[in-house]
Structure 1
Amino acid sequence: MKLKQIPEDFFVREIMDIKLQGKGEYAVFVMQKKRYTTINAVQRIAKELEKNPKAFNTSGMKDKDAITEQYVSGFGIKKEELQKLKLKDIKVFFKGYSDEPIKLASHAANYFEITARALDKELKPIEHFCNYYDEQRFGGIRPNMAKVGELIVKIKWEDAMKAYLLYPFSTETEEHHLFRKQMEKSWGRLKLGMAPSYLAESAVVDYLAGNQSDFTGAFRQLPKQVFTLFIHAYQSKLFNEMLAEYVREHCKISKEIEYCFGKLPMADETIELKIPLAGYDFNIDDVDERIKPLVKAAINEIDVKQFSFDEIPFLSSRTVFRDASAGIAGLKTGEPEKDELNNGKLKQKVCFTLAKGSFGTIAVKAMA
């Protein structure tokens, strides 16, 4: 099965209950984008409006290789400014004003329309699936974010920077392989412009060119949302490992699905359980008795207090609990059709809604 073979194969729309008014400090609009990360799309809009990107807020990140719609608030932005915007692969739809910015994770759900390709058989309708994080959470074609996060938590800043900048993955382009290998050879002697300017890494490398050993300062050149994603990716990987272990030990396995770190088992039944994403305030007494031994083993080598960063407060991460299973609402499945992009294979479209934080790609993999 292939997902997101072309951007049109994957559509996601944010569902948000937001109170709007006729005037206010923040303009609220829906941003539709294609081939842009959320951060890059906001930066493109900010540049066109001659505003600071920090004036804009979103509820979360949406896929780059897809068509996505999400709510954005912009401080000091007027309806007329938005209506004049004409950008390739980005559209904005003004919704109203608010006196408050959009807060992180403030949307309720996401609606998906996904075309799965290269199928050998019809997708199987399901009502629930194991609530794993998928590879988008870990960096996509460069799934290094969890490793970077782990090294940051362990206060190994130089190693974290090396994991972020160096060591190319087989899924990256030849150009990326070349500049990462060149940086590895030049470590401690990095120069301006060594990383392509269109990559987020370029600002980090250019900072290091003048501050070769200030690795925390270099990481600070990234947008806050990206910086914090390293920590969240590490927590997410630990969650996946704990959930997978629980399923293997206690559930009837219906299938295994693939992602960037291997295979994840899917349970036949709904798992009524919450699993922690451990943060600095983690307490084992808050954990369900059924998974205490498993959780202890998973975080045995971690000092959870290291999830608190006094010098970088926004990086600090508290404990949250995530459902082991996710439900699918409003599932509609189209008829299998001939796949014009993959000879001899089928394609099939599915539409459904998931609560925020659950991954549409995991849901479709569970149906295959």
Structure 2
Amino acid sequence: MDYREFFSQFRYLSERPGIGGRIKVYPEDFVVIEDPLPSILEGRKHAIFLLKKRNWDTMSAVKEIAKRAGISHRDIGFAGTKDRHAVTYQYISVPAGAKETVENLRIRDIELRFVSYGRFIKLGHLLGNRFRVIVRDVDENAFERSRDVIGELRVKGGFPNYFGYQRFGEKRVTNHLVGKLLLRGDFENAARLFLGAHSGEMEGDEARKHFWETGDVERALEEFPNFLRYERTLLYRYRETGSWRKAFLSLPLPIMRIFIHAYQSYLFNLYVSRRIEEGLPLNEALVGDIVVQVKEGIPYRDRTYRVTETNIDFVNEKIRHGQAAVSGPLFGFAVRRAGGIPGGLEEEILEEEGLTVDAFRKLPKPMAEPGGRRELLIRPIGMTYGYIPETGMCFRFFLPKGVYATSVLREIMKDH
């Protein structure tokens, strides 16, 4: 199953026809510019660089920079991962002593420009990202159709805030399924899926297919290409310990958490889609909903309050003025649960999945997830768009951190 088939289960909010087309035909069609927190420039222990990359994922770029500079990749900080099939601009921090070495690096499709001294940049140290996206292979009606969809969603309060396909895998849509197996304590089948699932379209698929069929670890270590480094780490650790649990715990923390985060994201998407399907409002709070505060278009997901019979009119007035947003659950052991009809829907989804939130607590400590809340709708800030003859539609907009441009475009394109 590819990502288009996977995403077809999630409902569109808009009912107008889409423009179709294709994104990311060329890396230059998808430009991402990070807006960092100003606080990254406080301090002197780290050198802050603006990293421009093309056809690199963030982790691979960071590891290559670290290797060439003779430092550990753990000493390089960044605020968020960026698309591979794109041209992206983001800020990284390196130890101040490595400034000159990094400044003099020459790596294909990577540019590094020293900005200032500052602090170590951690995940989340950003306000959001600016996007410029070209949608190709559309006809001359694309502008009017875009206008119709965007106008309809403006009335409905925004775009569904689905997690994008990058969260789950483009060719191998398995990250959330691995996460579900880990939550059930089934490390063996989680490993089998992570190592053996194959699409038939990717390098290394033959080796994955052999492992799926045989479970032969020694053969896999001979056949898995070196670029599948996390898979090889898992295999080596299993050979050493005989434990798939210990093998998973040997992975770098961000990789280990990808699977749990993907499953949380899947459940959130399911909640948004089910709410649309059942005719429950996304832009109006119901009694029992949990609402997040919004300031100047940026949601503050750690500032939440429950909707009651007493405050519902006040809350919905805040929502209408863009100062609050209805939220959905990122399930975890400490997630603030909704009540009323929204709470019933949350419970229904957990029951269908055969889970309780306590499962997130029983994970090995590095994987344990407290959970949180996420706004159901997002309003792209400063959205402009236009048709470029012989090229396609060009969209420009800003999104807060953690929001996917591909999910905004999905509503406009109706391609999956």
> Under TM normalisation by the shorter chain, which class is it?
0.7 to 0.9
Is 2:182–2:363's contact at 8 Å kept on the other side of the alignment? no
More displaced 10-residue stretch of structure 1: 73-82 or 129-138: 73-82
Amino acid at match of 2:191: M
Q: How does 1:1-368 map to 2 (within 5 A)?
A: 1-19=21-39, 24-98=44-118, 100-120=119-139, 121-123=141-143, 124-125=146-147, 126=150, 127=154, 128-170=158-200, 172-173=201-202, 175-191=203-219, 192-204=221-233, 206-208=235-237, 210-211=239-240, 213-250=242-279, 272-284=325-337, 287=338, 289-300=340-351, 301-308=354-361, 311=364, 313-339=365-391, 347-368=392-413
Is 1:144–1:164's contact at 8 Å kept on the other side of the alignment? yes
Is 2:271–2:345's contact at 8 Å kept on the other side of the alignment? yes
Is 1:31–1:92's contact at 8 Å kept on the other side of the alignment? yes
Unaligned runs of 5+ in 1: 254-268, 340-346
Q: Report the CA distance between 1:278 and its aligned residue.
A: 0.8
Q: Report the CA distance between 1:140 and its aligned residue.
A: 1.8
CA distance in 2, matches of 1:305, 1:330: 41
Cα offsets for 1:278-311 (capped at 9, x unmatched): 1111353xx1534111100111221322213574
Cα offsets for 1:317-367 (capped at 9, x unmatched): 11210000001111121224224xxxxxxx211111011111111112222
Classify 1:231/1:180 alpha carbon distance in 2 versus 1 (closer, same or farther; 3 Å). Answer: same
CA distance in 1, matches of 2:359, 2:35: 34
Cα offsets for 1:35-72 (capped at 9, x unmatched): 11111110000000011111112111111111111121
Is 2:331–2:372's contact at 8 Å kept on the other side of the alignment? yes
Number of aligned residue pairs: 340
CA distance in 2, matches of 1:348, 1:22: 40
Q: Report the CA distance between 1:157 and its aligned residue.
A: 0.4
CA distance in 1, matches of 2:39, 2:411: 36
CA distance in 2, matches of 1:78, 1:201: 27
Q: Report the CA distance between 1:113 and its aligned residue.
A: 0.5
Q: Report the CA distance between 1:82 and its aligned residue.
A: 2.1
CA distance in 1, matches of 2:51, 2:411: 29
TM-score by length of 2: 0.76
More displaced 10-residue stretch of structure 1: 115-124 or 290-299: 115-124
Amino acid at match of 2:395: V
Q: Kindly, what percent of the aligned residue pairs are identical? A: 26
CA distance in 2, matches of 1:84, 1:178: 40
Is 1:277–1:319's contact at 8 Å kept on the other side of the alignment? yes
Where 1:19 maps in the other structure, the secondary structure is helix
Q: Give the match for residue 266 of structure 1.
A: none
Unaligned runs of 5+ in 2: 1-20, 283-319
CA distance in 1, matches of 2:241, 2:223: 14
Is 1:59–1:104's contact at 8 Å kept on the other side of the alignment? yes
Is 2:160–2:377's contact at 8 Å kept on the other side of the alignment? yes
CA distance in 2, matches of 1:289, 1:236: 22
Is 1:334–1:349's contact at 8 Å kept on the other side of the alignment? yes
CA distance in 2, matches of 1:93, 1:69: 11
Classify 1:167/1:202 alpha carbon distance in 2 versus 1 (closer, same or farther; 3 Å). Answer: closer
More displaced 10-residue stretch of structure 1: 319-328 or 209-218: 209-218
CA distance in 1, matches of 2:387, 2:271: 36
Is 1:190–1:209's contact at 8 Å kept on the other side of the alignment? no
Where 2:93 maps in the other structure, the secondary structure is strand
Q: Give the match for residue 17 of structure 2.
A: none
More displaced 10-residue stretch of structure 1: 144-153 or 203-212: 203-212
CA distance in 1, matches of 2:276, 2:41: 47
Cα offsets for 1:212-248 (capped at 9, x unmatched): 7321333244332121111100000000001000011
Structure with bigger helix share is: 2
Amino acid at match of 1:184: W
Cα offsets for 1:9-28 (capped at 9, x unmatched): 11111111223669622222
Where 1:54 maps in the other structure, the secondary structure is helix
CA distance in 1, matches of 2:217, 2:251: 21
CA distance in 2, matches of 1:225, 1:96: 27
Classify 1:220/1:40 alpha carbon distance in 2 versus 1 (closer, same or farther; 3 Å). Answer: farther
Where 1:193 maps in the other structure, the secondary structure is helix
Q: Report the CA distance between 1:86 and its aligned residue.
A: 0.7
More displaced 10-residue stretch of structure 1: 237-246 or 295-304: 295-304
Classify 1:288/1:351 alpha carbon distance in 2 versus 1 (closer, same or farther; 3 Å). Answer: farther
